[in-house]
Amino acid sequence: MRGSAAAAAPVHVLLDPALPVEVADRVRPLLAGAGLEIRATPPARLMLSRLPHGNEAPLRAVLFDGRLGADVLPQLERPGPVLLLAAREEGTPSAWELQLLAEMLGDAPLLVRREGVRGLEVAAVSGLRTAAAMAEKVAREHGAANTAALRAADVSHELAANALLDAPVGPDGKPRYAFHRSGGPIALEDACHVRFAHDSGRLLICAQDRFGRLRRGPLLNAVRKLWTPARVEASGGGAGLGLLRCLQSADLVAARVDAHRRTEVLCAVDLGPGRRRTEAPKSVLLVGVEP
């Protein structure tokens, strides 16, 4: 996001009232490790910024219990960036997600500056299976349990499908391929990029398109359905279903939009043996994603 205000603005990290104030003391070294500088420490609040910082209005991040219930919907509906950090180990966010926060507030494409990052271009429906297979392969190389490797493959497939089939629009602004998720033959004029990186026992999977038109509606719907036991109708496909599956499987969902130029959606999939991840703490980072 060239010239993005998010790259220079300071960030206020607010503690959810349900968390003990002493969490602030535990989170300071983690913030510093992510390249973020603490600027001031009012009660129950940390201010941090990437250097150099300017005079832009501060961004607002919230450290919360990580449960994406109905009570977080107002946060997701707020205008501007949404930075919800799950309190994990000892009530603090993890170093790996603070590093992702730093990347989200920078200018470079997500993950590209990390060591060991892998990627591929997906330019055909058959490439969705290739992206899924690559995610599973990378996950297993890092010791993933079988269920976790399959989760990573599923998330990779969904992110790539959203970027390849749901994001592209024609000159009239109408979706080009959204109704072609069945895998049948279709001539595509577009491509997306998928990148993989390993960090702290998680596989980071990022899909990037060149349209920059993702909005919050599908994510809000996915959060609403996350705790709904009713069966989800999958026959129509679409970004909403894909985001729901990603939320169910991932410990973090991040999206960064450079309007009309680029959308990046990233998920962090835990490679441990647990079968269900719906109840795991989840962070949500949204930059440039309009309501």
pLDDT band for position 20 (cuts 50, 70, 90):
low
List the single range of 64-68, 117-121, 235-239 with lowest mean pLDDT: 235-239
Q: What percent of the chain has pLDDT over 90?
A: 44
Looking at residue 136, its pLDDT comes to: 98
Number of neighbouring beta carbons within 10 Å of residue 278: 11
List the single range of 121-135, 174-188, 273-287 with lowest mean pLDDT: 174-188
Average pLDDT over residues 101-112: 91
Average pLDDT over residues 78-85: 89
Which strands sit side by side in the sheet containing 262-270, from one edge to the other? 37-40, 45-49, 11-15, 59-64, 82-86, 283-287, 252-258, 262-270, 202-209, 192-199, 118-122
β-strands 45-49, 11-15: how paired? antiparallel
Average pLDDT over residues 94-107: 87
| H helices, E strands: number in the chain | 7, 11
Asked if 214 contacts 265 with a C-beta cutoff of 8 angstroms, the reply is: yes
Place of tokens 């999939």: 269
pLDDT in tens, 168-188: 888 888 888 866 555 555 668
Average pLDDT over residues 147-160: 96
The answer on pLDDT for 206 being more than 80 is: yes
Looking at residue 230, its pLDDT comes to: 47
β-strands 59-64, 118-122: how paired? unpaired
Q: Is 136 left (phi over 0), alpha (psi -120 to 50) or beta?
A: alpha
Q: Can you give the pTM of this predicted structure?
A: 0.83
User: Where do the CATH 3.30.565.10 domains begin and end in the chain?
Assistant: 118-287
pLDDT band for position 34 (cuts 50, 70, 90):
low
| Cα distances (Å, whole numbers) of residue 49 to 8, 59, 80, 98, 219 | 8, 9, 17, 12, 27
Looking at residue 271, its pLDDT comes to: 95
Looking at residue 79, its pLDDT comes to: 87
- Give the H/E segment covering residue 183: none
- Cα separation, 148 vs 156, in Å, equals 12
Average pLDDT over residues 18-27: 68
The 3 state secondary structure assigned to 67-114 is CCCHHHHHHHHCCCCEEEEECCHHHCCCHHHHHHHHHHCCCCCCCCCC
Average pLDDT over residues 218-238: 66
Three-state SS at 269: strand
pLDDT band for position 236 (cuts 50, 70, 90):
very low
Place of tokens 């219930």: 69
- Average pLDDT of the residues of the chain: 81
pLDDT band for position 47 (cuts 50, 70, 90):
very low
Number of neighbouring beta carbons within 10 Å of residue 141: 11
- Cα separation, 67 vs 87, in Å, equals 10
Looking at residue 26, its pLDDT comes to: 75
Looking at residue 241, its pLDDT comes to: 64
Average pLDDT over residues 26-31: 72
Query: Which among 155, 122, 152, 136 has a CA at the least distance from the CA of 244?
Result: 155
Higher per-residue pLDDT: 93 or 255: 255
Is the CATH number of domain 118-287 3.30.565.10? Answer: yes
Looking at residue 58, its pLDDT comes to: 64
Three-state SS at 212: coil
Asked if 15 contacts 93 with a C-beta cutoff of 8 angstroms, the reply is: no
**Token pair of 186, please?**
């279709």
pLDDT in tens, 109-125: 999 999 999 999 999 98
- Cα separation, 135 vs 129, in Å, equals 10
**Token pair of 141, please?**
């190389």
Looking at residue 69, its pLDDT comes to: 85
